[in-house]
Amino acid sequence: MNPWLIVGFLVALIAIGVGGYLKGETDGKTATEAVWQTREAKINADAANKIAEADRRVADAEHASADRQAAIDSTYQSKLKEKDHALTVALNTVKSTGLFVHTAPSAPATGNGMPETATSPGSGNAAPTARLSDEDAGFLLAEASRADGIVAQLTACQAIVEADRK
């Protein structure tokens, strides 16, 4: 047999062996990478589902918190309107009738149930009264209304804090 034929045959055999090895190596890597990519895709899909569920729960909690705060604000606003209305009514009452603070006691009654001195209109012996000026009464009513507003604000703040802690 021709030695060059044997050498050519061995070279061809080595080339086929190396080519087969490299093809198997490439196919094996491709198959392994496909398995890894499938596994990673599944892990990523599961993580995305968990994130979406967590986002939904957070959004629901924020929506519920916003609803609670809206209800608290509505209550607060109605209390402010009631307070302002009460102040307006009180100031109008003071303007129309005045605010009397103290009336001196009338004369003691005698044995027959009648006071010792009878008072008549214009006689000058009517019971003296102490009266706040309309301006002073208005100031005091406004301060009382302002204090009521502060109480309403603090109550609303406390309700918000309590709602957030739930």
**How many angstroms separate the CA atoms of 91 and 97, rounded?**
10
Q: What pLDDT digit, counting tens, does each position of 3-31 carry?
A: 888 888 888 888 888 888 888 888 888 88
Distance of CA 77 to the CA centre of its chain: 15
Contacts 24+ apart (CB under 8 A), 115-124: none
- Exposure on the CB side of residue 157, measured as CA atoms within 13 A: 6
| Residue 55 near residue 138 (C-beta atoms within 8 A) | no
Q: What pLDDT digit, counting tens, does each position of 77-132 carry?
A: 999 999 899 989 888 887 787 665 555 555 555 555 555 555 555 555 555 566 77
CA Rg value for the chain: 48
**How many angstroms separate the CA atoms of 117 and 126, rounded?**
10
| Statement: the pTM of the whole predicted model exceeds 0.75 | no
**What is the model's pLDDT at position 58?**
95
The one-letter code for the residue type at 48 is: A
- From the list 148, 157, 144, the residue with the least C-alpha distance to 79 is 148
